[in-house]
Amino acid sequence: MATVHQASRRRRWVRRSAAVVVCALAAAQVVGWFTATPKVGHFRSAADRAAYADAYQRALALMPVPTRTLDLQTTFGSVRAYQWENPDATGAPVVLLPGRGSGVPMWSENLPSLLTHRTIYALDAIGDAGMSSQSVPVTGASDQAVWIDEALAGLQLEHAHVVGHSFGAASAAALAVNRPQRVATLTLLEPAFVLGWPPLGTLAWSVPASLPFLPRSWRNAAIARIAGEDPGQIDPNDPVAAMITLGGTAYSSQLPTPRPLSDDQLRGLTMPVYVALADASTITRGAASLTKTALIGDVTTRVWPKTTHSLPMQVAEPLAKDLGEFWTANDG
Is 176 inside any structural domain? yes
Would you say residue 33 has pLDDT above 50? no
Is 89 inside any structural domain? yes
Question: What is the number of other CB atoms lying within 10 angstroms of the CB of residue 86?
Answer: 16
Cα distances from 53 to residues 48, 83, 105, in angstroms, run 8, 20, 12
Distance CA 100, CA 247 (A): 9
Q: What is the mean pLDDT of residues 143-171?
A: 97
Provide the pLDDT for residue 160.
98
Rg (CA), the chain: 18
Is 250 inside any structural domain? yes
Is 330 inside any structural domain? no
Distance CA 185, CA 330 (A): 7
Cα distances from 59 to residues 19, 125, 129, 257, in angstroms, run 14, 17, 13, 27
List pLDDT tens digits, range 167-181: 999 999 999 999 999
Q: Are 266 and 290 in contact (CB under 8 A)?
A: no
Distance CA 134, CA 13 (A): 29
CA 89 distance to own-chain centroid: 24
Is 284 inside any structural domain? yes
Domain range for 304? 2-323
**With helix as H, strand as E and coil as C, how does 21-50 read?**
HHHHHHHHHHHHCCCCCCCCCEECCHHHHH
Distance CA 144, CA 38 (A): 13
Provide the pLDDT for residue 237.
74
Report how many domains make up the chain: 1
Residue 57 belongs to a domain with what CATH number?
3.40.50.1820
**What's the chain's average pLDDT?**
85
Q: Which of 5-19, 62-76, 91-105 has the highest mean pLDDT?
A: 62-76
Is 163 inside any structural domain? yes
Cα distance between the two ends of the chain: 44
Distance CA 196, CA 237 (A): 33
Is 328 inside any structural domain? no
Provide the pLDDT for residue 252.
86
pLDDT band with cut points at 50, 70 and 90 for residue 262: very high
Provide the pLDDT for residue 248.
75
User: b/e string for 101-117 if b means 16 or more Cβ within 10 A?
Assistant: bbbbbbbbbbbebbbeb
Is 142 inside any structural domain? yes
Distance CA 169, CA 25 (A): 14
Distance CA 306, CA 304 (A): 7
pLDDT band with cut points at 50, 70 and 90 for residue 309: confident
Please report, as a single letter, which amino acid is at residue 266: L
List pLDDT tens digits, range 110-140: 999 999 999 999 999 999 999 999 999 999 9
This prediction has a pTM of 0.87
